[in-house]
């Protein structure tokens, strides 16, 4: 039985919150998301609170939800939490029509996004 080793995987607890069909382009969300990736939750909350972007308000609410999930559902400590992953994927696009010159029509694309925040605890 040489060469056989026991592999023990340690399960790292993680908490996440997801917002689907947010009425904002994922491109706009990614700007603020990049600012808070890897930061402690208190620092991340401060950043989104004062970031002058439309997506900051949405991300603040989602981050608070993820923190609440971590504390209440996974018994994680608030002081140790940090933003492990945050990503905004493109959702379905709502297509609208606007009248244009000479009886033609122009398509308006109202983009949506799916935003996910994953929190983990620091060692």
Q: What is the pLDDT of residues 70-87, one digit of tens each?
A: 999 999 999 999 999 999
Nearest to 114 by CA among 95, 88, 93: 88
Confidence at residue 9, expressed as pLDDT on a 0 to 100 scale: 72
Residue 37 is part of which domain span? 14-121
Look at the chain and report how many structural domains it folds into.
1
In-domain check, residue 107: yes
Residue 73 in any domain: the answer is yes
Q: What is the CATH number of the domain that holds 40?
A: 3.90.470.10
Question: What pLDDT score does 71 carry?
Answer: 95
pTM, two decimals, is: 0.86
Tell me, rounded to whole angstroms, the distance of Cα 11 from its chain centroid: 22
- Which of 5-9, 62-66, 71-75, 95-99 comes out lowest in average pLDDT? 5-9
User: Sheet holding 14-22: strands in order across?
Assistant: 14-22, 113-121, 81-90
In DSSP terms, 99 is beta-bridged to: 105
Q: What is the mean pLDDT of the chain?
A: 93
């Amino acid at each position: 039985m040489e060469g056989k080793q026991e592999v023990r995987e340690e399960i790292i607890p993680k908490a996440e919150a997801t917002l689907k069909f947010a009425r904002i382009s994922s491109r706009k969300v990614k700007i603020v998301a990049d600012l808070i990736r890897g930061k402690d939750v208190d620092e991340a909350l401060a950043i989104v609170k004062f970031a002058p972007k439309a997506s900051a308000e949405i991300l603040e609410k989602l981050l608070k939800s993820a923190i609440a999930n971590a504390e209440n559902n996974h018994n994680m400590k608030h002081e140790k939490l940090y933003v492990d992953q945050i990503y905004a994927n493109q959702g379905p696009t709502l297509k609208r029509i606007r009248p244009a010159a000479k009886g033609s029509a122009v398509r308006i694309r109202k983009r949506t996004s799916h935003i996910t925040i994953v929190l983990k605890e620091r060692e």
